[in-house]
Amino acid sequence: MARRKYVVGNWKMNGVSAALADAQAIFAGAEARPAVDVALCPPFTLVGAMVAAAPAGAAVGGQDCHSAASGAFTGSVAAAMLADIGARVVIVGHSERRDGFGESDADVRAKAEAGLGAGLSVILCVGEPRDVRESGGAIDHVLAQVAGSVPDDFDPHRLAIAYEPIWAIGTGLVPTVADVAAMHGAIRGALAARFGDAAADMRILYGGSVNGENAAELLGTDDVDGALVGGASLTAAKFLPIVEAAAAL
């Protein structure tokens, strides 16, 4: 069976309550394209309100979670807290967490395990910086992140890998389709070697300056099962064309 396309919006540190109108428009547009799974991950302050404003069953998620279930971790959010307010998804290991906050593969793995343990679906991010890409080490770098970050035991339908070349995030730069296909194929091969047939059920998303103009080509690439979208996910006008491109495939 073919894997369903999955398009996820990561709002990052953007959005106050007025932005819920765009979220409602996005989810309304997504309902008209039922062949595509769509999720939005707003800042934590909007998760509960977005769940309440969205249609029943809409997938709203968090952008991060702590690996611990509770404790003296000021400013952090546990996976169970996200689930408690209606979140269904959590992003872990985004490059802005790995690089900006020094998160290791072991940290990302522990967060993924926490999210899965709380009943959430997990989007686990991997990706290489530009110097690694230019040195020819991109695939080795990313496969090492996959090996170190992906838990050993999980439902393959509840964990997706998001490949985001760090140098392409928010820059307008995009790898060639051949480069994206090579990386996604390498990730799929590594998952198959480790998990066997279960790897065929795992979705691998592409992220890095995805927009309405390039979505069809990127999403039509082998082993690209969807997109993790940053800036273009903040408005229905920019995000829905990506969903539409996915639905047309």
What CATH number has the domain bearing residue 172?
A: 3.20.20.70
Number of domains present in the structure of the chain: 1
pLDDT for residue 1 is more than 60: no
The boundaries of the domain holding residue 118 are 5-65+76-247
Residue 103 designated active-site = no
Residue 70 within a domain? no
**pLDDT for position 135:** 96
pLDDT for residue 139 is more than 80: yes
Convert the pLDDT of each residue in 156-175 to its tens digit: 999 999 999 999 988 888 89
Convert the pLDDT of each residue in 8-17 to its tens digit: 999 999 999 9
**pLDDT for position 170:** 84
Q: Which of 96, 164, 184, 244 is catalytic?
A: 164
Residue 71 within a domain? no
Residue 94 designated active-site = yes
Q: What is the pTM of this model?
A: 0.97
DSSP the chain: -PPPEEEEEE--S---GGGHHHHHHHHHHHHT-TTEEEEEE--HHHHHHHHHHSPTT-EEEES--BSSSSSS-TT--BHHHHHHTT--EEEE--HHHHTTS---HHHHHHHHHHHHHTT-EEEEEE---HHHHHHT-HHHHHHHHHHHHS-SS--GGGEEEEE--GGGTTTS----HHHHHHHHHHHHHHHHHHHGGGGGG--EEEESS--TTTHHHHHTSTT--EEEESGGGSSHHHHHHHHHHHHT-
